[in-house]
Amino acid sequence: MSRSEQKRQTHQRILDAAGRGFRKGGFGGVGVDGLAKEAGVTSGAFYVHFGSKAAAFRAAVAQGMEGLKDGVHHFQVEYGEHWWPEFVRFYLGAKRRCDLAESCALQSLAPEVVRSDACVRAAFEVELREVAEMIAAGPASHSAPADATAALAALGMLAGAVTLARAVESPEMAEQIVAAAERALMPPLDSAATATEP
């Protein structure tokens, strides 16, 4: 393995570890030593790749949003006209039950972005807009957002529902939250017709 390839792999390992650490503990809940340990490197090696914890956080947020875009693309390609219902069920199901360290950037990193600097918030905004535009431009699918604005609202509902469901102690209430979000995001096919009937 070349030196440059080894360096690239170490950089990616640190970035992946940082993403998990920030998701699980928040920006203030984990230090460079903890991130380095998670990546299996020394703190000195961490600083070779990232000049500061803030730099690692910016990179982790960008990678997290790229991961969300990759996920949307996967569902659009894999499920075609059924992609939106499949994506919603996956997000409210698997992405709610997974370990917080593996959760979606919208659920776990957005609250940390709120507390971050203008540069991080601006970059997050660009990425979020790209996700919304990708959703709006996807294949026609039942209840899929018709435009980027509707997609932003849907993403807000998905992330909010998962956050609330994770926060409550009662499994029954958690299920109520995600079931209500699913009904709002995917109303029955005949609901529009029923609403227009005299």
Q: What is the CATH number of the domain that holds 78?
A: 1.10.357.10
In a domain, 155, yes or no: yes
- Phi, psi at 95, each rounded to 5°: -75, -10
Which residues constitute the domain of residue 163? 54-187
What is the pTM (predicted TM-score) of this model? 0.88
In a domain, 9, yes or no: no
> What is the separation of C-alpha 53 from the centre of its chain, rounded to a whole number of angstroms?
20
Q: Residue 188's pLDDT is what?
A: 81
In a domain, 32, yes or no: no
102-147 tens-digit pLDDT: 999 999 999 999 999 999 999 999 999 999 999 999 999 999 999 9
In a domain, 18, yes or no: no
Q: Residue 194's pLDDT is what?
A: 42
27-59 tens-digit pLDDT: 999 999 999 999 999 999 999 999 999 999 999
Query: What is the band of 190 on the pLDDT scale with cuts at 50, 70, 90?
Result: low
Number of domains in the chain: 1
Query: What is the band of 20 on the pLDDT scale with cuts at 50, 70, 90?
Result: very high
Query: At residue 66, does pLDDT exceed 60?
Result: yes
Query: What is the band of 79 on the pLDDT scale with cuts at 50, 70, 90?
Result: very high
Query: At residue 195, does pLDDT exceed 50?
Result: no
Beta strands in 2-125 (DSSP E): none
Q: Which two tokens stand for residue 129?
A: 């807009």
> Average of pLDDT values for 70-87?
97
The per-type count for the chain, helices as H runs and strands as E runs, is 12, 0
In a domain, 72, yes or no: yes
Mean pLDDT of the chain: 93
Q: Which two tokens stand for residue 156?
A: 């807000």
Q: Which are the contacts of 197, defined by CB distance < 8 A and separation ≥ 6?
A: none
Q: CA–CA separation, 37 vs 29, rounded Å?
A: 14
Query: What is the band of 101 on the pLDDT scale with cuts at 50, 70, 90?
Result: very high
In a domain, 25, yes or no: no
CA torsion sign for 102, 156, 148, 184 is positive
Q: Residue 198's pLDDT is what?
A: 45
In a domain, 153, yes or no: yes
Straight-line distance from the first to the last Cα atom of the chain, in angstroms, rounded to the nearest whole number = 72
Task: Report DSSP state, residue 2.
Answer: -
Amino acid (one-letter) located at 165: A
Query: At residue 197, does pLDDT exceed 70?
Result: no
Query: At residue 82, does pLDDT exceed 60?
Result: yes
In a domain, 19, yes or no: no
> Average of pLDDT values for 169-175?
97
Amino acid (one-letter) located at 24: K
The 8 Å CB, 24+ separation contacts for 112-115 are 112/22, 112/26, 112/27, 112/57, 112/61, 113/61, 115/27
Query: Under DSSP, is residue 28 helix (H, G, I), strand (E, B) or coil?
Result: helix
Q: Which are the contacts of 22, defined by CB distance < 8 A and separation ≥ 6?
A: 30, 57, 60, 108, 109, 112
